[in-house]
Amino acid sequence: MMAKQYQTLGEFIIDNQADFPYSSGELSRLINSIRLAAKVVNHEVNKAGLVDIIGAYGETNIQGEDQQKLDVYANQKFIQTLTNREIVCGIASEENDDFITIAGCNNDHQNKYVVLMDPLDGSSNIDVNVSVGTIFSVYRRVTPIGTPVTKEDFLQPGNKQVAAGYIIYGTSTMLVYTTGHGVNGFTLNPALGSWYLSHPDMKFPKNGSIYSINEGNYVHFPEGVKKYIKYCQEEEEDRPYTSRYIGSMVSDIHRNMIKGGIFIYPKSSKAFNGKLRLLYECNPMAYIIEQAGGKASDGFSRIMDIQPTELHQRAPFFAGSKNMVEKAEEFMKKFQ
C-alpha cells in the first residue's frame, strides 16, 4: 500500500495492518505504545536545563558506563509503558543487567513479542544540547506461548526481527521504523501531540559523500579502517568526502540516510570486539538500513546474520550507503 504523506501514525498503522495477518493487532499496539513512551521522553528531553534531569545519575550500567539521569528516566518510561499495556512478554534493555519477564494480567504469559532497546542513545550529549535518540527492536518469541520467556527469546539473530525503529530527539522529534515493508519517518507535532508521516519510503543513496567515524581513535583502529579513512580524504573526482561525526549513532545514521554516507564504529586496540551493542544498537539499525536500501556489516559479513551469545554482546559496525560500505569492506579484507 502506498503511504499517504502527512497521514497520522495511527492512520498509517491501521492502513498497513494487512501486512501482519498473524499478529492479531499486537504488533500495531506495540508500535502505539512506543510512540506514547517517545512523547513522554521527548517532553522530558526538551526540559533539559530547566529541571534537574541532566548530568550523571551516580550509578554505572552493566557495561561499566556512567548512567545519565535521562538514561534512567527513558529506560523507566519505556519499560513502564510496554509493561502496563500488556503487549510484550519480555524486555531487554542496554541499561539493565538481565531481561525482564512480563507475565500478563492473568499471569498466563500469552503475549508473543519481546522488545530490546537502547532507551537513550548518545545521552552524554544532552548536557550540550545535541540530538539524542531511542533505538528499539522487536522479535516474536521462540519459546512456547504460555511459559515465561528465557534468554533464548532475546538471543536471536537480527534477520529474525519483525520490527525495528528509532526516535530522534532533535530540532524536531521523529519516529522512524520498519516492519519489513520499507522505512517510514513520522514527525511529532508538539502542539497536537500527533505524529505525521513526513518522510515516506526513506532510502539510502547508493553512494554518498559523508564518512562518520571518531577519528580521535585513529591510532587504535585496524589497518583496513586507517586505509579507508585515507581513501575518503584523497583528492579524486568524487573525493575527498566530508567528515561528519556527532557522537550519537541515531543522529549520524539518520543524517547519512537522508544525505548519503557511511557510519563506522570499528573494533580497536581499546575495544577488541567493538563498542556498540549487537542486540540494542547494531541489529535494529541494520534492519532499518537494509530496508532503506543500504548495507550493514561488521566489516566482513552481514551484521544481521551474527548469532548472539550474550545479551550485552558488542560488535564492530559499518553501515550506510551500499557502495560506500562495500568499499570499506574491501579495505578490511585486503589489510586484515
Residues 119, 95, 137, 28: is their CA dihedral positive or negative? Answer: negative
The total number of structural domains in the chain stands at 2
Q: Report whether 112 belongs to an annotated binding site.
A: no
pLDDT recorded at residue 87: 86
Question: Do 183 and 248 share a domain, yes or no?
Answer: no
Give the per-residue SS3 of 69-100: HHHHHHHHHHHHHHHHCCCEEEEEECCCCCCE
Listed range (127-131, 270-274, 280-284) with the worst mean pLDDT: 127-131
Total number of residues shown for the chain: 336
Please answer whether residues 89 and 108 qualify as being in contact, where contact means their C-beta atoms are separated by less than 8 angstroms: no
Are 214 and 192 in a shared domain?
Answer: no
218 and 287 together in one domain: yes
The answer to the question of whether 180 is labelled as a binding residue is no
The stretch 53-60 carries a mean pLDDT of 52
Q: Report if residue 117 sits inside a domain.
A: yes
Residue 3 lies in a domain: no
Q: Give yes or no: residues 137 and 227 share one domain.
A: no
Asked whether residue 151 falls in the same domain as residue 272, the answer is no
Percent of the chain with pLDDT over 70: 90
**Residue spans of alpha helices (H) in the chain:** 9-15, 26-45, 69-84, 223-233, 249-259, 283-291, 322-334
Q: How far apart are CA 169 and CA 176, in angstroms?
A: 11
Domain assignment present for 205: no
- Residues 169-186: what's their mean pLDDT? 94
| Mean pLDDT to the nearest integer, 259-278 | 96
pLDDT confidence of residue 177: 96
Query: Is residue 178 located within the same domain as residue 70?
Result: yes
Cell 492512520 sits on residue: 11
Left (φ > 0), alpha (ψ -120 to 50) or beta: where does 152 sit?
Answer: alpha
Structural domain includes residue 2: no
Collect all residues with Cβ–Cβ distance below 8 Å to 89 and sequence separation of at least 6: 101, 102, 104, 109, 110, 111, 112, 113, 114, 141, 148, 149, 153
For residue 81, report the phi and psi dihedrals to the nearest 5 degrees: -65, -45
Task: Tell me the residue range of the domain where 223 lies.
Answer: 210-334
Asked if residue 175 belongs to a known ligand binding site, the reply is no
Confidence of residue 84 (pLDDT cuts 50, 70, 90): confident
Same domain, 170 and 214: no
Same domain, 66 and 189: yes
Contacts 24+ apart (CB under 8 A), 13-22: 16/179, 16/181, 19/179, 19/180, 19/181, 20/179
Q: Are residues 134 and 215 in the same domain?
A: no
Mean of pLDDT values over 96-102: 95
**Among 199, 219, 242, residue at a domain's last position:** 199
1 within domain boundaries: no
Check which CATH number belongs to the domain holding 271 and give it: 3.40.190.80
Residue 102 lies in a domain: yes
Q: Calculate the average pLDDT of the chain.
A: 90
* Chain position carrying cell 536500501: 293
- Sequence-distant (6+) residues with CB within 8 A of 73 are 41, 44, 53
Neighbour count for residue 140 (Cβ, 10 Å)? 17
Where does a domain end: 164, 199, 234? 199
- Supply the pTM of this predicted model: 0.93
Contact 293, 260 (CB under 8 A): no
pLDDT for 140-168, tens place per residue? 999 999 999 999 999 999 999 999 999 99
Omega into 240 within 30° of 0, i.e. cis? yes
Instruction: Consult the annotation and say whether 124 binds a ligand.
Output: yes
User: Would you state the cell numbers that stand for residue 331, as one nine-digit string?
Assistant: 579495505
Cα of 120 vs its chain's centroid, Å: 10
Q: d(Cα 81, Cα 136) in Å, to the nearest integer?
A: 14
In a domain, 148, yes or no: yes
Domain of residue 120, CATH code: 3.30.540.10
Same domain, yes or no: 150 and 224: no
Whole-number pLDDT of residue 24: 60
Query: Is 275 annotated as contributing to ligand binding?
Result: yes
Residue 1: predicted pLDDT: 44
Query: Binding site annotation covers 118?
Result: yes
Confirm whether 204 is domain-assigned.
no
Distance CA 32, CA 25 (A): 11
End position of a domain, from candidates 175, 199, 223 = 199
Q: Do 91 and 214 belong together in one domain?
A: no
Examine the domain organization and report whether 25 and 143 are in the same domain: yes
Q: How confident is the model at residue 64 (pLDDT cuts 50, 70, 90)?
A: low
What pLDDT score was predicted for residue 46? Answer: 77
Dig out the grid coordinates for 206 from the structure. Answer: 547508493
CA angle 187, 189, 190 (to 5 degrees): 125
- 120 appears as a binding residue in the annotation: yes
**Residue carrying the nine cell digits 585513529:** 218
User: Any binding-site annotation on 122?
Assistant: yes
253 and 319 in contact (C-beta within 8 Å)?
A: yes
Q: What is the per-residue burial (b if ≥16 Cβ within 10 Å, else e) of 155-173?
A: bbbbeebbbbbbbbbbeeb
